[in-house]
Amino acid sequence: MSVRIGDLAIIAPEPKMMCFLCGKVEETRPYGPNGEEICFTCGLKNEAETVAQMNMRLFGQSREEAERNAANPSRPKMADVRAATMKPN
């Protein structure tokens, strides 16, 4: 389970669930438009919304703060963060 300690968010693997948007059974996160569980691929379809949901859920930001921070062009892109954290196979 992912947890937040102060300003540090620790992202842990989650059990596979059905993606609310595409129906695939994969690791999901509650970053859908209304907090639904969605897969990484669906999260990339609307990255600004996904990042805003992450900012609200992981960092306790208000909707306004979360949208403003998601729109920051200097923030890391989801695909880059995922590539940096995935274990080599």
The site string for Zn ion over 38-77 (x = CB under 5 A, - otherwise) reads: -x--x-----------------------------------
Residue 86 CB, nearest approach to Zn ion (Å): 18
DSSP label at residue 32: S
Total binding residues for Zn ion by CB under 5 A?
A: 5
What is d(CA 34, CA 31) in angstroms, rounded to the nearest whole number?
A: 8
Site for Zn ion in 19-38 (CB under 5 A): 19, 21-22
Structure token pair of residue 2: 């992912």
Q: How far is CA 43 from each of CA 6, 7, 52, rounded to the nearest angstrom?
A: 25, 23, 11
Give the shortest CB-28-to-Zn ion separation in angstroms. 8
